[in-house]
Structure 1
Amino acid sequence: MLTKPQFGWSDFSLEGTSVYGLSYLTDIAFEWIDAAISGLKNLSPFCVRGNLEPNRFLCAVSFWNCHIIIEDDAGFPLEKEDIVHEYSHTSMLEFCRQLYDDISSCTDEWASFADYQNENTEENKQALTGKLEELKELIIEKEKFFGESYWLL
């Protein structure tokens, strides 16, 4: 889903969608994990965001699908042709699993992704490790709600 950060960029893609280059202007690891934790805790859809420089990236993570929206980041009214919308049959649980896997596989890089001066890398890594552990526990705890016998409201 997310590639290893390199030079302030990470590529994002879900099954059946395009590849989007997301910049360091959004602290993806921390913001996305916080959103995923909140979504799983409450069993509620959530949204993550990113910056494409130019344009704005939004991914609405619902129970059974993810919706990607790309829009211009200017402040003028949008026309229908100005908006890109893609979707993937990726459940909330699967999104959270992929997020956990991708970020935990290279915590050093994600801990310093938006730390432009590399001033707090060790503190960031410890905080990120704690958030990843919480996300992992929630994935295990909430797995039962994403089986065939459950219906989420």
Structure 2
Amino acid sequence: MLTKPQHGWSDFSLEGTSVYGLSYLSDIAFEWIDAAIFGLKNRSPFCVKGYLEPDRLLCVVSLYNCHIIIEDEFSRCMEKKDIVYEYSNTSMLDFCRRLYDDISSCTDEWASFSDHQDEHTEKNKQALTGKLEELKELITQKEKFFDEGYCFF
């Protein structure tokens, strides 16, 4: 889903979608994990964002699907034909699992992705590790809600 960050960029893709290069302008690890934690805790759709420079990627994660929207972040009068929309049959649980796996596999790089000041890297890594632990615990707790045949309502 997310590639290891290099030189301020990470590629993002989901099954059935294009590959998008996301820049360091968003603190992807922290912002996306916070959104995922909120979504899992509340069993509520959430949105993550990233910058493609100059466009913006929005990924709306619902219970059973993800919707990717690419738009010009500075245009107030976009036409429908100028907006890219892609769909992936990736559930919230799968999205969160992939997010956990991809970020936990290279925490050093993600800890310094947006904050390039070396003196903050260790502090960021500790904070990121704590958020990853919380996300992992929620994934384990909420797995039963995504079983076949379970009804949320």
Name 1:65's counterpart in structure 2: 65
Report the TM-score when normalising by structure 2. 0.98
Root-mean-square deviation (CA, aligned residues, Å) is 0.8
Name 1:139's counterpart in structure 2: 139
Letter in 1 for 2:135: L
Name 1:81's counterpart in structure 2: 81
Matched-pair contact (CA < 8 Å) for 1:63–1:152: no
Query: Secondary structure at 1:120's aligned position in 2?
Result: helix
Q: CA deviation at 1:68?
A: 0.1
Partners in 2 of 1:116 and 1:134 — Cα distance?
Answer: 25
Q: CA deviation at 1:32?
A: 0.2
Name 2:25's counterpart in structure 1: 25
Partners in 2 of 1:26 and 1:76 — Cα distance?
Answer: 21
Q: CA deviation at 1:76?
A: 2.4
Letter in 1 for 2:69: I
Name 2:10's counterpart in structure 1: 10
Moved over 4 A (4+): none
State how many pairs are aligned. Answer: 153
Once the two structures are aligned, what percentage of the paired residues are identical? 78
Gaps of 5+ in 2: none
Provide Cα deviations, 1:45-80, integer angstroms capped at 9, x if missing partner. Answer: 000000000101000000000000000011321101
Report the TM-score when normalising by structure 1. 0.98
Gaps of 5+ in 1: none
Provide Cα deviations, 1:76-101, integer angstroms capped at 9, x if missing partner. Answer: 21101110000100000000000000
Letter in 1 for 2:99: L
Q: CA deviation at 1:118?
A: 2.5
